[in-house]
């Protein structure tokens, strides 16, 4: 019987390809925002870069790009030791929007410059989420853009 075989197939995939155990936690971390009018970004790039550090040592920098219709957010982060990173970011199209980086401990905020650039120092490692709030909300533009959570 088809239904029986398909249900065994279903059980097979449930057993052999279970949902990652921390995914629910990541989701719950992402959805704590009170603002329901969200534009949701998708992670479109995540890659390590190699850069030379100040003293010629190589520091691992990671780049991530998050994409949505109204806004693209690109960030690069570099380790400042075992517990914190420095984040450099760019918003496109550029604008002096408020940028928040939520982490499990606290939320760091800054404002991008007119070119869309922003930077944050001493961002705690671990789970993070970027929220961009447009400085001048209007009926035609989206007020809040949010990324899924990711790990610094």
Partner 1 sequence: MPSPSSASAPPDRREWIVDALSRAQAGQREALAKLVMEFSPMLWHVARAYGLDRATGEDVVQTTWLQLLSHLDSLHTPAGLAGWLTTTARREALRRYRETRRELPASDSLREPVGPDPGLDERLISDERRRVLWESVRRLPERCQKLLRIVAFEHRPHVADVAAVLGIPPGGVGPTRGRCLAKLRDLLAADPRWAGS
Structure tokens at 19: 């949902």
Give the shortest CB-23-to-partner 1 separation in angstroms. 6
19 binds partner 1 (CB under 8 A): yes
Cβ neighbours, 10 Å, residue 110: 15
Which one among 37, 54, 136, 139 touches partner 1, defined by CB under 8 A? 37
52 binds partner 1 (CB under 8 A): no
Closest residue by Cα to residue 68 from 123, 138, 143: 143
For residue 118, with 0-12 CB atoms within 10 Å meaning exposed, 13-18 middle and 19 or more buried, which class applies? buried
- Beta-ladder partners of 128: 103, 150
Give the shortest CB-144-to-partner 1 separation in angstroms. 10
CB-based contact 46:73 (threshold 8 Å): no
92 binds partner 1 (CB under 8 A): no
33 binds partner 1 (CB under 8 A): yes
Which one among 4, 13, 57, 138 touches partner 1, defined by CB under 8 A? 13
5 binds partner 1 (CB under 8 A): yes
Which one among 31, 69, 106, 107 touches partner 1, defined by CB under 8 A? 31
Cβ neighbours, 10 Å, residue 125: 16
Window of 45-53, 81-89, 101-109, 118-126 that interacts with partner 1 by CB under 8 A: 45-53
Which one among 71, 103, 149, 152 touches partner 1, defined by CB under 8 A? 149
In the block, tokens 């690109």 appear at 74
In the block, tokens 């603002």 appear at 35
Query: Could you give the CA distance from residue 128 to residue 106 in angstroms, rounded to a whole number?
Result: 10
Which residues of this chain interact with partner 1, rule CB under 8 A? Answer: 2-3, 5-20, 23-24, 26-28, 30-34, 36-38, 40-43, 45-48, 62, 146, 148-149
């Amino acid at each position: 019987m088809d239904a029986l075989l398909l249900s065994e197939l279903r059980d097979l995939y449930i057993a052999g390809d279970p949902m990652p155990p921390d995914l629910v936690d990541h989701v719950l971390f992402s959805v704590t925002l009170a603002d329901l009018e969200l534009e949701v970004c998708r992670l479109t790039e995540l890659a390590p870069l190699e850069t030379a550090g100040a003293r010629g040592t190589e520091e691992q920098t990671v780049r991530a790009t998050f994409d949505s219709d109204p806004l693209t957010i690109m960030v690069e982060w570099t380790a400042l030791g075992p517990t914190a990173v420095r984040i450099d970011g760019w918003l496109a199209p550029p604008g002096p929007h408020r940028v928040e980086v939520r982490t499990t401990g606290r939320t760091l905020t800054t404002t991008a410059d007119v070119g869309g650039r922003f930077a944050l120092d001493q961002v705690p490692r671990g789970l993070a989420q970027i929220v961009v709030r447009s400085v001048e909300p209007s009926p035609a533009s989206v007020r809040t853009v949010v990324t899924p959570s990711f790990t610094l």
